[in-house]
Amino acid sequence: MPDPHPRSGLGEPRGPSFLPGRPREHTEPLAPPAPPPSHTTPQPQSPPKRPPRTSRPLAAAVLAAVLAGGLAGYAAGELGDDPVPASAPAARAPGDLQAVAARVLPSVVSVRADRGQGSGFVFDERGHILTNAHVVDGSSRVSVELQDGRRLTAEVIGDDPAHDVAVLEPETSRGLRAADLATGTRPAVGDTVLAIGSPLGLSGTVTSGIVSALDRSVRLGEGIGGGPRRALQTDASINPGNSGGPLVDDEGRVIGINTAIATLDQNRGGSIGIGFAIPVGDAVKAARTIIDGG
């Protein structure tokens, strides 16, 4: 029979799931009362009370908690007062970033020029493609590969080295889908972002991170605009070949154009979690000037 007095450390069972046992019904005859003193009137006495018996389900649960150790918290919660539900941490439902990537990828292209390779994306309904000036690097025509595998020839209709922006006009706009642009909003530090492009020639690559800083003054190297420019900083993995691809928020809107990374070794550059993107508002303004012939 379980010990009716729990050992130290388990605490007293309580709560709605704990029902105290009833006194055992007595079927054996009770001992006769002691004879009263001669000078008093005899008084009836109640039968001796026996300690209440702990219900069997409760005893089994407490024993399981003692033996299992790791289940003690669970058993205590089941046997204690009604627990207060813990508030679940705010989190994006699983699969949402997958949906974002699936929505943006059809607008992203790989760009191959005479001297290098990079990325780009369709940014208007006429099928114009936005990329970096350092990707085209003076080429007048480039090859673009769409996500469905089609290859198109595109004309470089102009570039703006000061903003590291170039605009391509493909031979056809059939099947091209413009990406959504976040030109009317401003990202915040800590926002979730995806970088999409063709790092090292691996088209359709998606990496994730956050906005690490805003309005970072970055000098992008010799021959690309000359001076420092305003950039978004992100820890999303960006590598050679990502240049010109979109940096998008968690709603699939383009907030910047991936353009540069910080490295520890200039000869063997790779992502160290510090990447930079041209804010989409600056890039689109430069692109519109190019398209309008300014």
The residues annotated as belonging to the active site are: 134, 164, 243
Q: How far is CA 79 from the centre of its chain?
A: 36
Q: For residue 136, give the nearest of 294, 292, 290, 293 by alpha carbon.
A: 290
Task: For residue 283, count CB atoms less than 10 angstroms from its CB and return exposed for 0-12, middle for 13-18, buried for 19 or more.
Answer: buried
The residues facing 155 across adjacent strands are 141, 169
Measured in Å, how far apart are the chain's first and last C-alpha atoms? Answer: 94
Residues 6+ apart with CB under 8 A from 44: 33
Please report where in the chains the tokens 């069997």 appear, as a residue.
Answer: 56
**Which DSSP string corresponds to 178-246?**
PPEE-TT----TT-EEEEEE-GGG-TTEEEEEEEEEEEEEE---TTSSSS-EEEEEE-S---TT-TT-E
Q: For residue 245, give the nearest of 268, 216, 277, 220 by alpha carbon.
A: 277
Beta-sheet pairing, 180-181 with 253-261: parallel
Integer Cα distance of 123 and 235 in angstroms: 24
